[in-house]
Amino acid sequence: MRSLKIDFSAENMLPDGEYIGRMGEHNATRLIITPPAEMAECDAIINYVAAFVTEGKIIRSDFYPKSEQIEIPICAQLTQDHSLGFQLEGYDGNGGLVVKSAVIGELKLLPSAGGDEADFDCENSGMVSQINLNTLARHEHSNAGILGGIGETNGILTYNGEAVTPQKIRTVELGVDSGDAFIEASGSTFVFSFMINDPENPIIPVNADVQSVEYKISGDDKWTDIRSIMKYDISVPVLSQTFRVFVSDGIGYFALVDFYRNQVNAFHSYVMSYQIEKLRVTYAETSAA
């Protein structure tokens, strides 16, 4: 079996070149994937999923436990076209998508050894347990033009020739008991805030897109996503402002949580009894390309 490296952490993401084998091959090539640093360092990510684009379909693998490298054999399902797109996806412990890597737009396949394009043997597909068709994508996609616009110039991801601004996934822990963050309650609303002591280097940047807020109670190592116990009216988008950071009078706010009035839930009880020890905020920070 030949090997081909994709190293998202390196300037040259394809050190072995872009050719991965021949059309119609089955498990003749394995990809050795090194995730980008922002995914490797993100505590929220528990599993990786390999997403391939071929013949207008998206084919995703099962979960791969988070590790420094993952190895993926290229089965016959992925070698039916002249090119293959690839992207690495990171998921949290609840199966929620956290972030995606850059797109490798075109891994190339040579014609089959016989000179003809091989037919796919549906009865001998292999990797059934590792590669699953995305049921929402088992049709011709209309976004071929979008995929075709993705490219790379001097190591910078581009779309239609324009540089794409990358995002870095960050996680910060704030000690409620130590005063790093504050939780204030007013009626059914909880306000999460922190002091901006250094405007040039805030704990959470104003341009951060907060993706999750977790809490931990005193004496317990378990982190709980606050959204799992929220009781809010789904007819009113009260969370529309919660996952954006803004500053007012030297105080940063990263969440306003409006619970049902007169309802009791675990988080409310913990706040009222001063049991919340820490908050963990995961956010995407836009950086210069």
Give per-residue pLDDT as tens, 47-77.
Answer: 999 999 888 788 888 889 999 999 999 998 8
Between residues 86 and 267, the one the model is more confident about:
86
Which of 163, 193, 226 is the last residue before a domain boundary?
A: 163
- Calculate the average pLDDT of the chain: 76
What total of structural domains would you count in the chain?
Answer: 2
Q: What are phi and psi of 281, to 5 degrees?
A: -115, 125
Instruction: Identify the domain containing residue 26 by its residue range.
Output: 2-163
Last-in-domain residue among 135, 163, 191: 163
Q: How far is CA 43 from the centre of its chain?
A: 11
Same domain flag for 35 and 158: yes
How far, in Å, CA of 151 to CA of 249, rounded? 43
Calpha distance 5→76 (Å, rounded): 19
Q: Are residues 80 and 102 in the same domain?
A: yes
Q: Can you give the pLDDT at residue 131?
A: 40
Residue-wise pLDDT tens digits, 6-48: 999 998 899 988 899 999 898 899 999 999 998 999 989 999 9
